[in-house]
Chain A
Amino acid sequence: MRTFALRRSAALLGLHRAGVELKTFFRERDAVVFTLSLPIVVFVLLGAMFDGVYPGSDVTTAQYLAPSMIAAGVASTTFVNLGTGIAADRDDGTLKRLRGMPMPPSAYFLGKAVTALLITVVEAGLLLVIGVVGFDLTVPTDPARWLTFGWVFLLGVTACSLLGIAVSSLAGSARSAAAVTNLPYLVLAFISGIYFTPVGQLPGPLVTAGSLFPLKWMAQGFRSVFLPDTILAQEVVPSWEHGRIALVLAAWCIGGLVLCLTTFRWRGRRDR
């Protein structure tokens, strides 16, 4: 009976964990500011550095950059943040203490996921506002486009969060976790057509490599929401490929889940 009651409370405990995680995150002012501002600063810098309009359309470089940076922001607040955050939890005794509690493991992950989702919504919102105010990004009125935004966002957040949880086990310590998560993040940001635009101009092998990972597809999905079809000539193929985006992101959700289940460590390397 009691086991049943404890299992039933996993969802409730997960929400309490999310409350504690969010409090912890937002009370660390410097971490909040710098975590949220990294994609924003990159966006503003790149947006200000390059100007011009892509041939065959009236889309400016900065407008092209905006939806791509939202994808990079999602990857940053999920993959990078969860990867470093969980490695820190492993180092500072959080995971050890939780393992000693009558807590279903799912409550911990639910707490992390809800926290990552909320922080990502804030990040995406900030990038969107800066795009609209600073770089003439047009917000679509067509509900179909917002529906696209919704599913790309949810699949992207899920896939990148699961990969972040998985990558946390690769890091030997909290100190190495930032390096372990930032290297793939930065490399993918370059080869997914985010820091380097437009994606169609990337060398073939890099496009192929980038296409293996979720970031390229998330960015493409967000561009399809905010940019007119006249920009399609600058994509790798002249189509938004919604079916393929859904397929690749869903595949990474499954792959990420498998990686989490097979590699996740509650204990640090020294605690075997």
Chain B
Amino acid sequence: MTENPAVRVRGLRKAYGPVTALTDLDLDVATGEVLALLGPNGAGKTSAVEILAGHRDRDGGTVSVLGRDPGHAGLDWRAEIGIVPQHCADLGELTVRESVRHFARYFPRPRDPDEAIELVGLTGKAGARVRTLSGGQRRRLDVAIGVVGRPRLLFLDEPTTGFDPQARRRFWGLIRSLAGRDGTTVLLTTHHLEEAEELADRIVVIAAGRVVAEGEPATLAGRASRTLVRWADGAQNTDDPAALVAELTRRYGGPVPGLTVTRPSLEDVYLDLIGDHS
């Protein structure tokens, strides 16, 4: 990680008429980091990503993406960025290979199109018309097009919607290798908490247009210090479950009846966080 963040957002605001999508959003993504943006539907995730990718105008705040303002950035900036948008229904009559090959031409030093197709596991469908793909296969094609230009920064807006479990695992492997081997910075939005936990170096939770929590998946919102110890005669939250269990063992002079130790799942923490906002 370098001192220059790939993405730096301060006080970002966006409203659609009377509906406020983003209020005063601050966000940093370090170079080489995988950051997951979590939040309920309508929290402003897609608005934020689209503003960062230069697809939407903002009402206020400062935004720097790879050192440039996405509202006024040129083609050389675009060549460094990969975007996997939501809701694409284009390319229907082309084949998978034709599509990826076509978009590879836009970039100065693209990946081999067949390699990009292989990365997302669509090699078997390379000759198929895009309109014949299933929803998950179609998303994988979008991801292949997003990475074919060897982007330094990759935006993924709910990339695994419609993936089967096998495709999702494979996709996680792809993102890890992009981040690890190629040093790609990744900003992804997702509803899958397991996915965020699996992939992200850091999680940012937004609700009602602002950041409500951020941190590493293991410690988000005090998750590590909220271990719940239950036993037959009581229950207690603690940040040092081992000490409490040792203490209980001493008290009972042997095995503690009905002992369970549970750390809140990311989902528990997340639902607590957004509970007040949705």
B70 to chain A, nearest CB (A): 11
The contact of A3 among B56, B76, B81, by CB within 8 Å, is B76
The contact of B106 among A3, A23, A103, by CB within 8 Å, is A103
The contact of B94 among A7, A20, A100, by CB within 8 Å, is A20
A35 to chain B, nearest CB (A): 14
> CB-CB < 8 A to B91: which residues of A?
94
Interface centre among A27, A97, A104 (most CB of B within 10 A): A97
Q: Residue on B with the closest CB to A7? A: B75
Q: Residue on A with the closest CB to B57? A: A272
Are A271 and B106 in contact (CB-based, < 8 A)? no
Are A97 and B98 in contact (CB-based, < 8 A)? no
Q: Does B243 contact A (CB under 8 A)?
A: no
A154 to chain B, nearest CB (A): 28
Q: Does A204 contact B (CB under 8 A)?
A: no
Interface of A is mostly: helix
B28-63 vs A, Cβ < 8 Å mask (1 yes, 0 no)? 000000000000000000000010011111000000
Are A103 and B75 in contact (CB-based, < 8 A)? yes
Are A272 and B56 in contact (CB-based, < 8 A)? yes
Q: Does B232 contact A (CB under 8 A)?
A: no
Cα distance, A272 to B19, chains bound together (Å): 13
Given A24-B94, A271-B55, A102-B89 contact (CB < 8 Å): no
Q: Does A13 contact B (CB under 8 A)?
A: yes
Are A28 and B93 in contact (CB-based, < 8 A)? yes
The contact of A100 among B76, B78, B98, B108, by CB within 8 Å, is B78
Q: Residue on B with the closest CB to A27? A: B93
Q: Does A92 contact B (CB under 8 A)?
A: yes
> CB-CB < 8 A to B76: which residues of A?
2-3, 6, 102
Q: Does B169 contact A (CB under 8 A)?
A: no
Q: How many residues of A contact B (CB 8 A)?
A: 27
The contact of A267 among B55, B79, B98, B108, by CB within 8 Å, is B55
Cα distance, A89 to B89, chains bound together (Å): 9
> CB-CB < 8 A to B78: which residues of A?
100-103
Q: Does B74 contact A (CB under 8 A)?
A: yes
Q: Does A96 contact B (CB under 8 A)?
A: yes
Given A6-B76, A6-B108, A103-B75, A97-B88 contact (CB < 8 Å): yes
Cα distance, A3 to B75, chains bound together (Å): 7
Cα distance, A226 to B50, chains bound together (Å): 54
Q: Which residues 14-28 of A have a CB within 8 angstroms of B?
A: 16, 20, 23-24, 27-28
Are A101 and B103 in contact (CB-based, < 8 A)? yes
A142 to chain B, nearest CB (A): 42
B54 to chain A, nearest CB (A): 8
Are B85 and A93 in contact (CB-based, < 8 A)? yes
Q: Residue on A with the closest CB to B17? A: A272
Given A93-B85, A100-B81, A271-B55, A5-B93 contact (CB < 8 Å): no
B152 to chain A, nearest CB (A): 13
9 example contacts (A-B, Cβ-Cβ < 8 A) are as follows A6-B79, A13-B106, A16-B105, A23-B93, A28-B93, A93-B87, A100-B55, A102-B79, A271-B56
Closest 3 CB pairs of A and B: A93-B88, A102-B78, A102-B79
